[in-house]
């Protein structure tokens, strides 16, 4: 089963993807992790990505596509995957189709998580991170046990530099502008499953995740 996770930050993608990974025994692959691994190991693609990043430029689709292709061809993806952060545009979506077609595979399911914008802002503004172990907390949904100290390290939690309301709204606007065509692309293929996640309707990420697992197992 090849699954793509779609949803703005703050919708609970991490919670849903983590649950699906355990229940379906599939690797959770994020483009962020792919980039970090290539850059850390100084692969040829990693060196190219570093060069663009150092110049303050976006990494070309061709580089991202090749990184994703290499990752999906690894052994742990033989029974499928949960892909997070890719594709971000129509060109990438079409390239993913090409990558999978070489293995006689398709995208089987696109999970589209929706949360009201005001709720996303509230969640992200409440996000904290341990500067030592990088564990992420939420002061609304997932509080540490002792004030604002990490449960694992006892270190005082910090707020990410780019977690400001102004920057978040810019990122959300970019996300919705870029991803709507991608969601429409997959909707035409009949593989999109929309999931509403909101405190206002008492439906959290774990609730959606359980429904998705049942949906997948029924296929």
- Lowest average pLDDT, out of 13-17, 41-45, 107-111, 187-191, goes to 13-17
Residue written as token pair 């904290």: 128
Express as a percent the part of the chain with pLDDT over 70: 97
Which residue segments constitute the domains of the chain, with CATH numbers given?
A: 2-116+170-218 (3.40.50.300)
Of 171, 193, 203, 210, catalytic: 171
How far is residue 120's CA from residue 203's CA, in Å, rounded to a whole number? 14
Q: Which among 11, 2, 47 has a CA at the least distance from the CA of 168? A: 11
| 135 CB-side CA count, 13 A | 15
Q: Based on the residue annotation, tell me whether 167 is a catalytic residue of this protein.
A: no
Q: What pLDDT is stored for residue 182 in this prediction? A: 95
> Is 208's pLDDT higher than 90?
no
- Give whichever of 100-109, 154-163, 166-175, 200-209 has the largest mean pLDDT: 100-109
Of 51, 94, 160, 180, catalytic: 160
Of 13, 71, 123, 128, catalytic: 13
Give the global pTM: 0.81
pLDDT digits (tens, 9 = 90+) for 5-23: 998 877 878 778 888 999 9
Q: How far does CA 80 lie from the centroid of its chain?
A: 16
pLDDT digits (tens, 9 = 90+) for 93-152: 999 999 999 999 999 999 999 888 888 888 888 889 999 888 888 888 778 998 999 999
Q: Based on the residue annotation, tell me whether 88 is a catalytic residue of this protein.
A: yes
Q: What pLDDT is stored for residue 202 in this prediction? A: 63
Q: Based on the residue annotation, tell me whether 127 is a catalytic residue of this protein.
A: yes
Of 21, 69, 88, 210, catalytic: 88
Q: Based on the residue annotation, tell me whether 36 is a catalytic residue of this protein.
A: no
Q: Based on the residue annotation, tell me whether 203 is a catalytic residue of this protein.
A: no
């Amino acid at each position: 089963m090849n699954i793509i996770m779609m949803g703005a930050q703050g919708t609970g993608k991490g919670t849903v993807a983590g649950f699906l990974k355990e229940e379906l025994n599939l690797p959770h692959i994020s483009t962020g992790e792919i980039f970090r691994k290539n850059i850390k190991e100084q692969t040829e693609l990693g060196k190219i990505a570093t060069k663009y990043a150092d110049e303050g430029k976006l990494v070309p689709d061709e580089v991202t596509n090749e990184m994703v292709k290499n990752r999906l061809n690894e052994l742990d993806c033989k029974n499928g995957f949960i892909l997070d952060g890719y594709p971000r545009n129509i060109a990438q979506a079409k390239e993913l189709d090409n990558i999978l077609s070489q293995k006689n595979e398709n995208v089987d399911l696109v999970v589209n998580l929706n949360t009201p914008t005001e709720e996303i802002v509230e969640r992200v503004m409440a996000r904290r991170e341990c500067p030592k172990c990088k564990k992420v907390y939420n002061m609304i949904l997932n509080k540490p046990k002792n004030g604002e100290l990490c449960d694992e390290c006892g270190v005082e939690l910090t707020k990410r530099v780019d977690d400001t309301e102004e920057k978040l709204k810019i990122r959300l606007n970019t996300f919705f502008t870029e991803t709507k065509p991608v969601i429409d692309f997959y909707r035409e293929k009949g593989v999109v499953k929309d999931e509403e996640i909101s405190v206002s309707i008492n439906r959290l990420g774990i609730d959606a995740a359980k429904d998705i697992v049942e949906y997948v197992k029924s296929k």
